[in-house]
Structures are given as structure tokens and as C-alpha cells.
Amino acid sequence: MKTHLQIFTRTALITALLMTTLLFISFKLHANSHIAIQLLSRAQTIILILTSAALLAAFATFLYSKFWLKPLQALEEEIATIAENPDQILAPPPDTNAPPALVKAQSRLRVLHSKVRQSIRQRQRLADAGEAVAKINHDLRNMLSAILLVTDQLESSEDPKVAQVAPVVIRATEQATELCQNMLDYLSELPPPSHENLNMPVLIEELAATTDARLDYSGPEILVTDRLMLYRIFLNLLRNAQGAGAKNITIDIWRAGHLAVIDISDNGPGIDAKIKDRIFSAFTSGRSSHIGLGLAICLDLALALEGRLNLARSSDEGCAFRLQLPATILAKD
């Protein structure tokens, strides 16, 4: 807008100058004629109009620059400062007669900046706590692994009481070890995915060996994706389904536009309605014996694969999770 006003002002001044020059020349050529008098009268009117327009445009440019452009530039500089260093303290807003809309925007920007700084600090605290927990879990897992090696020998004990409680001790130790591993998986940062040609029938066979439920597959033979990440997603969902009592689990893969859709469905009892809205939150589980990190880890893995994981349906007849990934994972024929 400022540029347009400047162009208009300059054009009006140049036109007025040209009209004045032409008027002077015409008056010299027809100094004593009736034509010169008419030209002088009309030219005066045109020059007056153009000069007035130029003055109004100049005044509008001044008002725009003072009350809009400068406050807007100051707001833009503050946004750039926050983008470059969110933790930096902003200077007080300039004392200008800015329009109410800009003043309100400056105020809201400062509220947002304050919340961003608090959020950054909170994330730093959580990162520090997470690192400490990860170190403790690592050491604890190693201790439990050593204990598990010893407890395996208890089952062969000749003492009937020891032999009777040995399976309970072993199972409890295994659960504690698995808990530590899940905690480490949740706290650790995922590496970038490493895409490779993945033979799905082979992967399905490996998954079927980990569950007593029947596992059916329908989809392409080859996918191009990170094998370990996709395996971990499937394994967590399969374990959850089997733990809930599912006997049949199905994995279907199909294409929908720019997406590859992977449905993992089962015939279990479904998700408890009380936790359905927060099943992907850490430490949320429908079973008291589980810590509730499996789905949170699956969600992180899906994001690492540039995908999206959500609960597609849940009822008394079972539930289905839908994993949406870029269609580029589907190998070209």
C-alpha cells in the first residue's frame, strides 16, 4: 500500500509539473489570444486538482507509515526474534499510536512467547528426568537379567517348595525385565527409518511364532519400509490383542490415494470405553498387570515412519487399529 501511494504521489506531481510547463509554452505562443485565457483557466483547475491529490496521497502515506507500517515492522521483528531464539526476552513494545488490532496482536504475541518459554523449560525438565530414568532402567534391567539366569535353575531344584514357587519368581522377573525394556524403548530417541525391501509373508511367519492366536494376512508381498519399526508396531498390537483374549488377528494392506492403509483387526472384547480416548497416552492400560507403554511406542514408531496410527473401531466383537503410511512403501510392479 505504501508503494502504491508513493507511485501515485510522484505521478501526480510529475503530471502537475508537465501541465505547468505546457501551460507556460502555450501562453507564450498565444499571449494575447482568447485561447490562452481558456488554457490558463482549465490548466489552473487541473493543476489544483493534481496538487491536492498529491498532497492527500503524501499525507496518507505519512499516516500509513506512522500508524501501520512501523508497528507492523516492529511486530515482524519480534516474531523473527522468537523464531531465532524462543528463550530470548522481548523488549517492551514501542510506544506508538498503533491501531487497536496491532496492539492486540503484540499483546497476544507476548502471551504466546511466555507460554513457549515455559513449555521449553518444562521439556528440559522432562528430558533431564527421562535421561535419569533411562540410566536407572538400564542398570535395573541388567540386574534383573542376571537374576533371571539364576532363577531358571530354581525349577530344577529338588526341594518341592522351591520348585513350586520358581515359575512365579521367573515370571515376575521376566515382567520386570520387560517393563524396564519398554521404558527404555519409550524414552530413547528413534533413529531415522532405514527403508528396505520387506518380504511380508516372511515377516508374518515371524509374528505368528510369537502368538497363540491365528494370524491372517492380505496384502502385497513386498513393502519398502523400515523392517524393525514395522515389526515392532505389529508385535505390540498382536501382544495387546492376545492379552485381551483375541483368538483371530488379521492384517490387511491396501492403497487409498496417496496412502498405504494397514488395518490390524482382532476378535477380542474391544477397548474399555473408559480409556478409549487416551489409549495412546503413556501409562494407560486396561489391564493392571501392564504399564501401558505399548501403544505410545507404536504411535512414536508410526510418526517416525511419517505415518499415522489410530483406533479405527472398537466393539464387543473386537477392535481394529489403522496405520496410514505414504503410498511409497508399496513396491512398484
Domain that holds residue 319: 195-329
Residues 211 and 265 in one domain: yes
pLDDT at 1 over 50: no
Q: Please check whether residue 183 lies inside any domain of the structure.
A: yes
Q: Please check whether residue 114 lies inside any domain of the structure.
A: no
Q: Residue 98 burial (CB < 10 Å; 0-12/13-18/19+)?
A: buried
Question: Per residue in 245-257, pLDDT tens?
Answer: 899 999 999 999 9
Q: Please check whether residue 174 lies inside any domain of the structure.
A: yes
- Interior/surface letters 212-233, b for 16+ CB within 10 angstroms, e for the rest: ebebebebbeebbbbbebbebb
**The amino acid at 41:** S
- Average pLDDT of every residue of the chain: 76
Residues 169 and 263 in one domain: no
Q: 52-66, 160-174, 305-319: which range is least confident on average? A: 52-66
Residues 324, 207, 225, 330, CA torsion sign:
negative
Residues 200 and 261 in one domain: yes
Residues 83 and 206 in one domain: no
DSSP labels, 164-184 = HHHHHHHHHHHHHHHHHHHHH
Q: Please check whether residue 291 lies inside any domain of the structure.
A: yes
Q: 92-96, 105-109, 233-237, 305-309: which range is least confident on average? A: 92-96
Q: Examine the fold and report which residue of 94, 116, 143 is the final residue of a domain before the chain moves on.
A: 94
Residues 154 and 215 in one domain: no
Q: What is the mean pLDDT of residues 31-57?
A: 61
Q: What is the mean pLDDT of residues 26-38?
A: 55
Residues 17 and 131 in one domain: no
The reported pLDDT for the residue numbered 19 is: 59
Q: Please check whether residue 179 lies inside any domain of the structure.
A: yes
Residues 157 and 73 in one domain: no
Residue 291 has which C-alpha cell?
504399564
Rounded-to-integer distance, Cα 257 and Cα 224, Å: 17
Residues 19 and 90 in one domain: yes
Q: What is the mean pLDDT of residues 83-91?
A: 73
Q: What is the dihedral of CA 307, 308, 309, 310, to 10 degrees?
A: -160
Q: What is the mean pLDDT of residues 295-315?
A: 90
Question: Model confidence at 12, in pLDDT bands (50, 70, 90)?
Answer: low
Q: Please check whether residue 71 lies inside any domain of the structure.
A: yes
Residues 199 and 183 in one domain: no
Tell me the β-bridge partners of 324: 261, 308
Q: What is the mean pLDDT of residues 286-290?
A: 58
Q: What is the mean pLDDT of residues 285-301?
A: 73
Rounded-to-integer distance, Cα 5 and Cα 103, Å: 24
Q: Examine the fold and report which residue of 187, 203, 232 is the final residue of a domain before the chain moves on.
A: 187
Give the highest mean pLDDT range of 61-65, 67-71, 124-128, 323-327.
Answer: 323-327
Residue 79 has which C-alpha cell?
516474531
Backbone angles phi, psi at 264, to 5 degrees: -115, 105
Strand 308-315 to 214-218 pairing: unpaired
Question: Model confidence at 2, in pLDDT bands (50, 70, 90)?
Answer: very low
> CB neighbours of 242 closer than 8 A, spacing ≥ 6?
211, 212, 213, 249
Question: Model confidence at 28, in pLDDT bands (50, 70, 90)?
Answer: low
Residues 158 and 36 in one domain: no
Q: Examine the fold and report which residue of 72, 94, 116 is the final residue of a domain before the chain moves on.
A: 94
Residues 135 and 231 in one domain: no
Question: Model confidence at 80, in pLDDT bands (50, 70, 90)?
Answer: confident
Q: Please check whether residue 116 lies inside any domain of the structure.
A: no
Count: domains in the chain: 3
Q: What is the mean pLDDT of residues 157-164?
A: 73
pLDDT at 242 over 80: yes
Question: Per residue in 100-150, pLDDT tens?
Answer: 777 787 778 888 878 887 777 777 666 666 666 666 666 676 766 767 666
Residues 169 and 53 in one domain: no
CATH number where 232 lies? 3.30.565.10
Rounded-to-integer distance, Cα 212 and Cα 208, Å: 8
Q: Please check whether residue 105 lies inside any domain of the structure.
A: no
Maximum pairwise Cα distance, the chain? 139
pLDDT at 82 over 80: no
The reported pLDDT for the residue numbered 38 is: 60
Q: 8-17, 119-128, 156-165: which range is least confident on average? A: 8-17
What percent of the chain is modeled with pLDDT above 90?
23
pLDDT at 239 over 60: yes
Is residue 155 within 8 Å of 167, Cβ to Cβ? yes
The reported pLDDT for the residue numbered 281 is: 77
| Residue 29 or residue 306, greater confidence | 306
